[in-house]
Structure 1
């Protein structure tokens, strides 16, 4: 049996009173992808004009805590969500993020401050932050994979350079060589049995898959050396034979003199330790047979100790 119109209206009002206002969350003046470093503002709204927004609060879902966290709590703001500012001015509830970072991405919602369930919670707004940061180049099969501005290899070696970048989505990579017209659409550049003709500057370019203007590149200079180049001195840095002998011989001579000096010092100390204190050569008193007293001796005395 269908209820009369007035009864339906009363039932709807009772249901609304039981559950309260259901808010919504929207982004203010934001179109297109949201880039890292930009600023965004979220607003919590209700269908009722002039509603008291002091009874609502913003929440963010924490993947580490596996729960919703209120952003109105200053302690939580300092610990978990930096650069987030919740304001209540002119009856509006706003959440502003001055400089978006990757950790700001996630789900946001607006709920009644005294609500314990989801009946008074808005639909989740997923905030996605797009970014592409620095490009790194590493060399495979080496004890230290990180590559600087240049890498030196021996002629005939196999060279494998790996390009990578930190991005919100897996980037698209390509390798090229300065002065050449070829491009390798891959994150890995492989040069088997490299020759001197392949020496030069190679560049890796990383591009965001959906935002072409988000792109970065990294250049690496490849130096290919001959088999004996690592044992030869560069021109202008060579040393003449006398200078080389002096550079090698002088430190060795100083070291030898130091060892000899220490040896003589140790030997003299050992000899001095064998002589009893208070007795020196030429000052000891001789002993005569049949005498109870000793006779003082003088330096240079040639008499025997026992007569």
Structure 2
């Protein structure tokens, strides 16, 4: 059994061209053949030698190593639908599918060589041979960057990252935050694909990775490089209890006042508190005045500082006691419109009363005159 491979590449190219031409002739004439696309495998991966142009009345598939289909070279035979027989060269990694293809699990470099299949049909036998080459998978690519987690801290919007994929392959993919990227207005990839530049690094850039795909569906990834990006402080705010109105916190002496300074920052910022221009010893985001005194009244300033970005921001609040209520002088006064209304009502009331008096007098006089006249007419 000769497992040596042809060592002259021109001969191999001519053989491949001849195989392709032969396969085309075989396909046209109904002859079985091994697909040329299946004649390359990868070490440690599954390899399938695909059988093409299979007739319908197959009684048995038999696979052999080398170009000789002698009994001692047989790997495996399969009789549809369920009869399988291993041969002398069976290693426990081979199998034959229902379509007659040979499957080799965990392919090894010494699997390289000629393979022959014999197909027994009701009308005779057909035979096909192909050269299988198992390629050694290159090691995973390496990666380097000028700003890894161990190299230092990047500042958002100021620093850039230059990463290199250490490989001889030309089929390179880049991943930022485990998501493939092909470049944008903030990221640039070199023409050979080996260098990725991130301009104006962002707080959302967490990791870098490159990968190569020299063989279909086999993606070899480098290690993942974490990025440390410093940003902030952003959105600095000063929260208080009691609440602030127009920058003023009103509280009585003896009460409890709480101040809390918050922001978004990486790394954690440093806090400084200033009271009426004097630096306090408090270095945390929270400050509590459990029993407010007159001496603690006044202006408070919270300063938030990020030593990595060299940025600092502050917020202020003024604590003061409640203001005394102004004195209220109660005076009785009547508006002009009300005076006019009262005059009208008085006039109307007087007219009404006078009218009633005249009406009553008229009624009284009428009754009195009638009584005297009746009394005069009846006297003798």
Deviation, structure 1 residue 21: 5.5
Residues in 1 aligned to 2:252 and 2:292: alpha-carbon distance in whole angstroms: 6
CA distance in 2, matches of 1:223, 1:153: 6
Query: Is 1:35 matched up with 2:152?
Result: no
Residue pairs, 1:100-111, within 5 angstroms: 100-104=201-205, 106-111=206-211
| Cα distance in structure 1, aligned partners of 2:261 and 2:194 | 45
Q: CA 1:207–1:181 in 2, change beyond 3 Å: closer, same or farther?
A: closer
- Aligned counterpart for 2:190 among listed residues 53, 65, 88: 88
CA contact (8 A) 2:273 2:279 kept: no
Aligned to 1:121: 221
Measure how far apart 1:191 and its partner are: 1.9
Residue 166 of structure 1: CA displacement?
0.8
Q: When the two structures are superposed, what TM-score results if normalisation uses the length of structure 1? A: 0.53
Whole-Å separation in 1 of the counterparts to 2:216 and 2:226: 21
1:34, 1:174 → 2: CA distance?
Answer: 24
* Aligned positions of 1:24-173 closer than 5 A: 24-28=142-146, 32-47=152-167, 51-53=168-170, 55-61=171-177, 68-72=178-182, 83-89=185-191, 91-104=192-205, 106-113=206-213, 116=217, 120-134=220-234, 135-140=236-241, 142=242, 150-156=247-253, 157-173=255-271
Residue 153 of structure 2 aligns to a residue whose secondary structure is: coil
Which one has a bigger Cα radius of gyration?
2
Matched pairs, number = 202
Kindly provide the CA deviation profile for residues 86-109 of structure 1, in whole angstroms up to 9, marking residues without a partner as x: 4233x35332222222112x2211
Shift of 1:198: 2.5
Calculate the aligned-residue CA RMSD, in Å.
3.9
Q: Which has the higher contact order (CA 8 A, sep 6+)?
A: 1
3-state SS of paired residue (2:278):
coil
How far is the alpha carbon of 1:224 from its aligned partner?
0.7
CA change 1:94–1:115 in 2 (3 A) is: farther
Quickly say closer, same or farther: Cα 1:128–1:202, change in 2 above 3 A. Answer: same
5+ long unaligned stretches in structure 2: 1-108, 113-133, 342-380
Choose from 214, 237, 241 the match for 2:310: 214
Summarize the Cα distance change of 1:59–1:218 in structure 2 as closer, same or farther, 3 Å threshold. Answer: same
**Other-structure match for 1:80:** none
Closer/same/farther in 2, CA of residues 69 and 180 from structure 1, 3 Å limit: closer
CA contact (8 A) 2:272 2:280 kept: no
In structure 1, runs of 5+ residues without a counterpart are: 1-10, 62-67, 78-82, 234-238, 258-307
Q: Is the 8 A contact 2:271 2:304 kept in 1?
A: yes
1:189 aligns with 2:290: no
